[in-house]
Amino acid sequence: MSVIPFDQRDGTIWFDGAMVPWREAKIHVLSHGLHYGSTVFEGERAYGGRIFKSLEHTKRLLRSAELLDYRIPYSVDEIVAAKELVLRTSGLQDAYLRPVAWRGSEMMGVAAQGNTIHLAIAAWEWPSYFDPATKMKGIRLDIADYRRPDPRTIPSASKAAGLYMICTISKHRAENKGYADALMLDWEDYVAECTGANVFFIKDGVIHTPQADRFLNGITRQTVIELARRRGFEVVERRIRPEEMEGFSECFITGSAAEVTPVSEIGPYKFVPGAMTKTLMDDYTAEVQPKAHAA
């Protein structure tokens, strides 16, 4: 099945405050964000015509830009409203949304204090990140060669495009070896995250997840922790050594794209998706669906 390139699709994109034809939403080749990584973005899902945790994603987008030393020239309310406009215009009920901000092309060099800050928002149909027919069997993960960097070397709390370069490399290498994704360690060789999702483990009824102060603290991650504690499950956020994976019985990953996806294998370590993982998958599905309003 052929895939339509993203620059050749129909529809409209919100671009610097106006809805423009999809194919005309372009930037110059000498934009600073392309050359120097001064781009931040969000990945969000809409379910039944409602964008899940739109406010939280918007606040994180603005904070990501601040960490890269610039200010997006729109308020939280303006960005939330723009996303809702994009979703309505798309005609989609279930969709993926991509707000993205970047420094423009006025200055071409490391320093770019005078560059215009741009913002665009697009929406498109995107089904489950992994094959739903085999999802409960669990996906297989490789262990990446690259490490998540020390937060003293890069603003790791920002959802910045430059932080994903090693993620793309790692995912490509994993897929070339037959895996669905790769697990990344941090610079001290503790378990960190996958290339675009956070990771959780289960042992003796207790959920363990890496402490999210060295990589992005995912909004889906935060939601799943809340759902688990609402269920009475104990959740421990801590440093996890790779060799500890041998003793965990279940594993799953979380993210706006991945949602809650079970894992059956990480390198030499095996897991069996079980009742707790299934419960959290179901709870997350129920959480993201628009609630019926009482008459």
In which domain, by residue range, is 87 found? 6-124
Which CATH number is 222's domain given? 3.20.10.10
Q: Which residue(s) pair with 119 in the sheet?
A: 101
State the pLDDT confidence band at 6, using cuts at 50, 70 and 90.
very high
Pair 36, 175 in one domain: no
Pair 68, 162 in one domain: no
Pair 92, 154 in one domain: no
- Give the mean pLDDT of 138-156: 96
Q: How far apart are CA 140 and CA 208, in angstroms?
A: 19
Residue 293 lies inside a defined structural domain of this protein: no
Q: Where are the beta strands (DSSP E) in 125-176?
A: 139-148
Pair 105, 147 in one domain: no
Q: How far apart are CA 47 and CA 96, in angstroms?
A: 9
Among 103, 124, 145, identify where a domain stops.
124
pLDDT at position 290:
84
pLDDT (tens digit per residue) in 180-201: 999 999 999 999 999 999 999 9
Q: Is position 159 annotated as part of the catalytic site? A: yes
134 pLDDT above the threshold of 80: no
C-beta separation of 222 from 160 below 8 A: no
Residue 215 lies inside a defined structural domain of this protein: yes
Q: How far apart are CA 235 and CA 223, in angstroms?
A: 12
Q: Where are the beta strands (DSSP E) in the chain?
A: 12-15, 18-21, 39-41, 44-47, 50-51, 95-103, 117-124, 139-148, 181-186, 191-194, 198-203, 206-210, 234-238, 250-255, 259-266, 269-270
Which CATH number is 120's domain given? 3.30.470.10
- pTM of the predicted structure, to 2 decimals: 0.94
Crossing angle between the packed helical segments 76-90 and 54-67, to the nearest 10 degrees: 120
Residue 129 lies inside a defined structural domain of this protein: no
Instruction: Provide the pairing of β-strand 139-148 with 181-186.
Output: parallel
Residue 140, exposed/middle/buried by CB under 10 A (0-12, 13-18, 19+)? middle
More confident residue, 278 or 3: 278
Among 124, 150, 184, identify where a domain stops.
124
Among 94, 124, 154, identify where a domain stops.
124
Mean pLDDT of the chain: 95
293 pLDDT above the threshold of 60: no
C-beta separation of 239 from 186 below 8 A: no
Catalytic residue among 53, 83, 135, 159: 159
